Structure 1
């Protein structure tokens, strides 16, 4: 993990959380004491983990957690007073925000960070795999369009068009995608 944002209205809490996180591999820990500054950081930087200790001086913090969830892929922990944790936790859980009750033990906090870190890594891996599949689908679409052009313009059959694209790719030592894009540039008007 790289960047962490800690939002808390007390320096004591920020210090405790920062100390607990130093045992992990976080390169940069940024702290702020209000929601407005936290929103600016969220808009400007990418965070791997955002920890919000409620209440904040300018807002409760639950809206900030939901905004952070919408604008970033960071794992988000919202630390809430015991009496509000069920109500606010139910409100923010649909956004993927992990609500923890105050007071929180260092062991429970550490395990929560580990769980959130593991979950985030899994989601990031799934997103990377999804992007690869999207690229592959786009490549297939472009190659199919090129085959259709060859069928329409040069009156090839589908197997002939497929063979032509594959042979051109091998002969020119380029990808099928590049060959298909060249065909489309040549024959599409």
Structure 2
């Protein structure tokens, strides 16, 4: 974990949370703000791996802020709430992927939660990377199919001839089939 945003109106709680984050991830950079408004402002300017919200804040409770972070960023979100409200808050925010930790804050539970958040974030980033690769591959397949269709339509190639043409051009020009397909599309679809 590289960057963590701590949102807390209590100086004592802030110091404890920052200390535990440093202990769990010594190389992790932290930003600390005291209100939801400040958190929104700083989040617009920076990306964070995790956001820890010590509820309630001075200007709001914190669940709206947690919802904002989970919807608009890739940051994992942890809310620290009073033990008597932890179950109710958890029911409201768990579908968004927000973790809830009851107060008083247990060092061991906090470390476990941070390790879990870090592991799930890595997994999510791996899935996101795989998703990007699959979208790129799908786009290449679409381009090749559009190029084959153009060759079939304008040069009366069969599908096999169009496919062979794209492959041969790619080999001869030492470029990818996608690059050949894009050239064909540009030539015949404009």
Q: TM class, shorter-chain normalised?
A: over 0.9
Report the Cα offset of residue 26 of structure 1. 4.3
Contact 1:165 1:180 in 2 (8 A): yes
Moved over 4 A (4+): none
What is the DSSP-based 3-state SS (H/G/I as helix, E as strand, rest coil) of the residue aligned with 1:31? strand
Q: Deviations over 1:70-98 (max 9, x none)?
A: 11111110000011111111101111100
Separation (CA, whole Å) in 1 of partners of 2:27 and 2:82: 27
Give the equivalent residue in structure 1 for 2:92: 91
Task: State the number of aligned residues.
Answer: 189
Give the equivalent residue in structure 2 for 1:81: 82
Q: Deviations over 1:120-154 (max 9, x none)?
A: 11111111101100110011001100000011111
Give the equivalent residue in structure 2 for 1:69: 70
Structure 2 unmatched ranges of 5 or more:
none
What is the DSSP-based 3-state SS (H/G/I as helix, E as strand, rest coil) of the residue aligned with 1:22? helix
Give the equivalent residue in structure 2 for 1:51: 52
What is the DSSP-based 3-state SS (H/G/I as helix, E as strand, rest coil) of the residue aligned with 1:67? helix
Structure 1 unmatched ranges of 5 or more:
none
Separation (CA, whole Å) in 2 of partners of 1:37 and 1:99: 21
Could you tell which deviates more after superposition, 66-75 or 22-31?
22-31
Separation (CA, whole Å) in 2 of partners of 1:95 and 1:25: 28
Q: Give the CA RMSD over aligned residues.
A: 1.0
Give the equivalent residue in structure 2 for 1:19: 19
Separation (CA, whole Å) in 2 of partners of 1:60 and 1:26: 30
Give the equivalent residue in structure 2 for 1:9: 9
